[in-house]
Homo-oligomer: A and B are copies of this chain.
Amino acid sequence: MRRIFLSAITLAFALALGSAATAADALPSWKDGKAKQAIVQFVKEVTTKGSPNLVRPAERIAVFDNDGTLWAEQPMYFQLAFALDRVKELAPQHPDWKDKDPFKSVLAGDMAGAAAGGEKGFLELVGATHGGMTSDEFDEAVKDWLATSKHPRFKRPYTDLVYRPMLELLAYLRANGFKTHIVSGGGVEFMRAFAEKVYGVPPEQVVGSSIKTKYEVRDGKPVIARMPEIDFIDDKAGKPVGIHKFIGRRPIMAFGNSDGDFEMLEWTTSGPGPRFGLIVHHDDAVREWAYDRESHIGRLKRGLDEARQRGWVIVSMQRDWKQVFPFEK
């Protein structure tokens, strides 16, 4: 995590110092092509004094999906890997899990069975295994897991699997007066445990799915207790609802990678004035993964079919990105 943290800071610094730097310098991992040109052109349009499309800084809201957009999501959502590890850790205290799905599949190592319920089933698993602890304890558990576990393919901490071009983009937008928000189907408390260090996005700018919490004073000490119950699912049509609820203003830029982001892009790009929508297309099996229409994770079908007519930019990981992960030489 430290490595990524430093690279994000370095980028931010480079941008802050080089106020006269060209946009090209700010996005070095992006190949010069249509996608990069579209981003730079849009940012110029909404930030240049005298531009007919100038947008005041308070309205420069950009929203980013997390899984598959800012970091990888294969072979399973990273938060699912965390949940599975927790199930194994907690199983001795729950003998009934041996006969009860999704726990049964998890304990039997049947990952496909465990993942079959999709993001919603995944959240149920999270709710059931993470209730009964305080938010501070949960935060610690996530940080511990991120510090000690490794991604199965790359044998590196999960937080190393962030996309360098997207880190550059986050920093570039912030340097141009944008507020960058994460709007993800993932758990909000899971993401908040690393979003500030890894992406430079503070907790109050992270919107995500959540379980219910309760305020309690235990032996004179106030805590936020996590309940084993889903509060909100920030996916699909839930994304515009989450944006409205937490941000309260329609973004002018939206970045996603799957059909779970469709409504977020639709809501963002159908407002008045200049609007920008972008989809990261996973088409690089060598450096990352290649999947879209048929994938059970990060399925992208409607987005591919309608991007052109809606004016959304499709980014090819293979052709538009010089580098995918920061650790590539």
Enumerate chain A interface residues (CB-CB to B < 8 A): 58, 61, 135, 179, 181, 188-189, 192, 196, 202-206, 210, 213-215, 217, 221-222, 224, 231, 237-241, 244-249, 263, 266-267, 270
Q: Report whether A267 and B222 are in contact in the complex, using a CB–CB cutoff of 8 Å.
A: yes
Q: Report whether A248 and B206 are in contact in the complex, using a CB–CB cutoff of 8 Å.
A: yes
Given contacts A210-B245, A246-B246, A248-B188, contact A204 B224 (CB under 8 A): no
Most central of A188, A245, A248 by chain B CB within 10 Å? A248
Given contacts A224-B244, A240-B224, contact A266 B204 (CB under 8 A): no
Given contacts A203-B249, A222-B240, A222-B266, 4 further A-B contacts (CB under 8 A): A61-B204, A206-B248, A215-B237, A215-B239
Q: Report whether B248 and A204 are in contact in the complex, using a CB–CB cutoff of 8 Å.
A: yes
Q: Report whether B263 and A215 are in contact in the complex, using a CB–CB cutoff of 8 Å.
A: yes
Option from B58, B192, B221, B237 in Cβ contact (under 8 Å) with A196: B58
User: What's the Cα separation between A251 and B204 when bound, in Å?
Assistant: 11
User: What's the Cα separation between A194 and B20 when bound, in Å?
Assistant: 36
Pairs across A and B, CB under 8 Å, 8 listed = A61-B204, A203-B249, A204-B249, A215-B267, A222-B267, A224-B240, A224-B241, A246-B246
A198 to chain B, nearest CB (A): 14
Given contacts A196-B58, A240-B222, A270-B221, contact A249 B202 (CB under 8 A): yes
Would you list the 10 A-B pairs with minimal beta carbon distance, nearest first?
A203-B248, A215-B240, A215-B237, A204-B247, A203-B249, A224-B244, A192-B248, A222-B267, A222-B270, A215-B241
Chain copies in complex: 2
User: What's the Cα separation between A195 and B80 when bound, in Å?
Assistant: 39
Q: Which residues of B contact A231 (CB under 8 A)?
A: 245
A232 to chain B, nearest CB (A): 9
Q: Which residues of B contact A203 (CB under 8 A)?
A: 247-249
A312 to chain B, nearest CB (A): 15
Q: Which residues of B contact A240 (CB under 8 A)?
A: 215, 222, 224
Given contacts A263-B215, A267-B222, A270-B221, contact A204 B246 (CB under 8 A): yes
Q: Which residues of B contact A263 (CB under 8 A)?
A: 215, 222
User: What's the Cα separation between A249 and B204 when bound, in Å?
Assistant: 7
A128 to chain B, nearest CB (A): 20
Q: Which residues of B contact A221 (CB under 8 A)?
A: 270
User: What's the Cα separation between A267 and B213 when bound, in Å?
Assistant: 14
User: What's the Cα separation between A213 and B247 when bound, in Å?
Assistant: 14
Q: Report whether B246 and A202 are in contact in the complex, using a CB–CB cutoff of 8 Å.
A: no
Q: Which residues of B contact A202 (CB under 8 A)?
A: 58, 249
Name the CB-closest residue of B to A247.
Answer: B204
User: What's the Cα separation between A135 and B214 when bound, in Å?
Assistant: 28
A265 to chain B, nearest CB (A): 11
User: What's the Cα separation between A41 and B241 when bound, in Å?
Assistant: 41
Given contacts A222-B266, A266-B222, A270-B222, contact A244 B204 (CB under 8 A): no
Q: Which residues of B contact A244 (CB under 8 A)?
A: 135, 213, 224
Q: Which residues of B contact A270 (CB under 8 A)?
A: 221-222
